Structure 1
């Protein structure tokens, strides 16, 4: 039973009359007086003091001592049991509290660690996202430039095909005319002198036509040669744009190995064509022989120029004796630079039609 029920039961017992008697053949007897203590069941001292004796002697003293001991013992045992139960309950609650506190602390640490890791991973993902966006913008720019260059190449290719068709037509017409001349030459008769003169005239015409035919054939072969090697055709010239970088001298040597030379820009249309590539490239212009006297690689002096603002200037007194195009934006894009620097270059092969 719990503490409440036990207390109620003890109160009920205290409200009852308690009597103790001892019969002897003769002599005095002990009479117990009803004791009522509804306020505190543990006031045993007052209860014991309420015992009345109407006899004296050793027997009376012995019996009085027994009753007093009984009155003290019962509440003390009950109180000890209650204290023990309370102590056990307090210990149990304390243990459970400590266990739950430890579990909650471990969970809190785990949640904090997970939160920190998620924050770190979020920052890494944000950085990766930013890098990918930047790379995407760069790729988009490259794609746009390639698309523009492809359109230019397609236009040049179409023009080249058209011009090749015209050359082929001229070639076929020459073949036909040579056949007619050969027929006329074979049909000459009668007057030997006239025949001889006509024959010589026809022979000269045949030789002339054959030379022209040879020139056309060489031109057709040249067209096929440069087209197969991905040269770009524009304005009766083929252009080669390098994919690696060299000094001005090395760039010119590379063009010479290709049986040509660095580009000579002689018109606004040609400058606009080169500028569309959007690259800084060596051109065939230098003042290495005489400072300030700019000449093309064929020895002719510069007349039409497209220098950028405040160019040429030999920046900070450095000898800048070779020219590049594409350094500045816009049509006027030339710049003088140190010839020993490595840059892209552009070769030009002029075709005489």
Structure 2
């Protein structure tokens, strides 16, 4: 009876080994179930081994039966060793599998972390670039607004200058008409235009005071020279004649008829200081000194300014 039981146990272990071999390629869940069955079979084998050892202490009845028992015991031991090897292999495979899965998960997590960092860095760069574009847009908008304001200002200035030009043109036309009428009344009168001023070049001779009075009657006055260019222009006009200008000396000081003291003179000769009353004459070579007494007569130049030059 014991031999029958042992045969059944060996068959069970053999079937378990075969099942273990067939389930090596199964999925993880089936492997776990197979391991539980193997452990149950191992417990059953240990139980039968205990019973076998107990029976060994009993006196043997037959020598042939002992040899058979030894061979069966060896078969059981071999099967148990094989089961242990298979269990160890299964555990190692599971360890390798889980270690590989863990490493893959760690690598994938590191990869995702690196990708996330790249995305965050790119997002920050985009935000910085967007802020720079916003600032540039504000600067361009401000410049454009300033250009529009400047354009409007220039348009207003242009309109004002156009209106002033029209007014000046009208004044010049009006003054030219008046001067033309005066020229028509006497062939001896002559007006010349230069740099927003009209100059009356007389052909008759008068004293300095009478010359100034005549200029005032013509809504002008004896010429006051304000620049080197004007001096050169009047020197060309004078030619070979001498003309009174609005410059005289009183108490040793040369002054223009508006009361200002000369800062720069265009004298033909250098004269010594004197407290006598003298007046200046315009010639083609510069100014000359001449007495202002009433019996000294010369031609004269009157000036009427319509607008101050820029």
- State the structure with bigger RCO (CA 8 A, min sep 6), 1 or 2: 2
| Greater per-residue helix proportion | 2
- TM-score per shorter chain, which class? 0.3 to 0.5
